[in-house]
């Protein structure tokens, strides 16, 4: 097996990187093409929930793009995270239409429910809470997305029940 654990000095020491799988993503899905950098990073983030540093270094050599540029892209775009995220990502919409229908109240309720005071991820890594701008379901505002599921017309009182469904 080509599984390698990065040395413990790496910030995300607990992640095991499957380099065979990574090769497959880079070569087969994205043709080793540097123009596909953003989509490769998305695939890595989808797999590991964040962008583990060793994968970026590996990618840099593989598609021949300087590490500094990959790091730049990884920090410029809002969807990428260099820090590990929770198993479930809650995205609460803070767009205009959701805002006027009470999006902020829903966010407060989620923060209370999950004890997220001054942090984004729960200690047990079950949830990460993010604010996003419009996800295009404005008519159902306030809207929140948990992973790929969109929940519309949520009142603050529905929050707990929805979150129960995600382990």
Partner 1 sequence: MKIQSTEELEKIRQEYSTRLYYPDTTKVLVGMASCGIAAGGKAAFEKAIQDFPDGNGVQIRQTGCIGFCEVEPLVEIAETGKPRVIYQKITEDKIVDVIRSYLENDFKKTKWILGQVRDPRSLMEDHLENPLREVAPIEKIPFLEDTPFYSNQVKIALRNCGYIDPDSIEEYIARGGYFAFFRALLDHKPEDIIQIIKDSGLRGRGGGGFSTGVKWATCARHHGERYIICNADEGDPGAYMDRSILEGDPHSVLEGMLIAAVAIGSNHGFMYVRNEYPLAVKRLVTAIKQAEKYGLLGENIGGTDFSFNIKISTGAGAFVCGESTALMASLEGQVGRPRAKYVHTVEKGLRQNPSNLNNVETFANVPAIISKGANWYAGMGTEGSKGTKVFSLVGKIKNTGLVEVVMGTTLRNIIYDIGGGVLKKKKFKAVQTGGPSGGCIPEKADAYSCPRPPETGSSAPVM
**Which parts of this chain interact with ligand FES (CB under 6 A)?**
93, 95-98, 134-138, 141, 143
Cα→Cα distances 46→39, 58, 93, 117, Å: 10, 17, 20, 26
Q: Is 109 in the site for partner 1 (CB under 8 A)?
A: no
Give the interface segment with partner 1, choosing from 3-11, 29-37, 105-113, 115-123 (CB under 8 A): 29-37
Closer residue to partner 1, CB minimum distance, 101 or 109: 101
Q: How far is the CB of 65 from partner 1 (least distance, A)?
A: 7
**Alpha-carbon distance 82 to 70, whole Å?**
12
Among 47, 57, 80, 146, binds partner 1 (CB under 8 A): 80
Q: Which residues contact 43 (CB under 8 A, 6 or more apart)?
A: 25, 29, 30
Q: Is 96 in the site for partner 1 (CB under 8 A)?
A: yes
Dihedral Cα 108, 110, 113, 119, nearest 10 deg: -80
Helices (H), 19-120: 19-23, 37-48, 53-63, 67-76, 96-100, 103-113
Q: 150 touches which of ligand FES, partner 1, none (CB within 5 to 8 A by kind)?
A: partner 1
Does residue 41 touch partner 1 according to CB under 8 A? yes
Question: Which residue ranges make up the site for partner 1 (CB under 8 A)?
Answer: 34-39, 41-42, 65, 69, 72-73, 76-80, 95-98, 100-101, 132-141, 143, 148-153
């Amino acid at each position: 097996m080509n599984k390698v654990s990065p040395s413990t000095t790496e910030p995300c020491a607990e992640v095991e990187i499957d380099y065979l799988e990574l090769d497959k993503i880079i070569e087969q899905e994205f043709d080793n093409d540097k123009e596909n950098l953003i989509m490769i990073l998305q695939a890595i983030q989808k797999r590991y929930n964040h962008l583990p540093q060793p994968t970026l270094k590996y990618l840099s050599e593989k598609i021949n793009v300087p590490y500094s540029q990959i790091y730049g892209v990884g920090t410029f775009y809002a969807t990428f995270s260099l820090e590990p995220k929770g198993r479930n990502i809650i995205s609460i919409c803070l767009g205009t239409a959701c805002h006027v229908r009470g999006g902020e109240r829903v966010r407060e309720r989620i923060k209370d429910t999950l004890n997220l005071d001054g942090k984004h991820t729960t200690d047990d890594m079950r949830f990460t809470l993010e604010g996003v701008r419009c996800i295009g379901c404005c008519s159902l505002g306030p809207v929140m997305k948990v992973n790929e599921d969109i929940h519309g017309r949520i009142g603050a009182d529905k929050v707990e029940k929805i979150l129960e469904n995600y382990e």
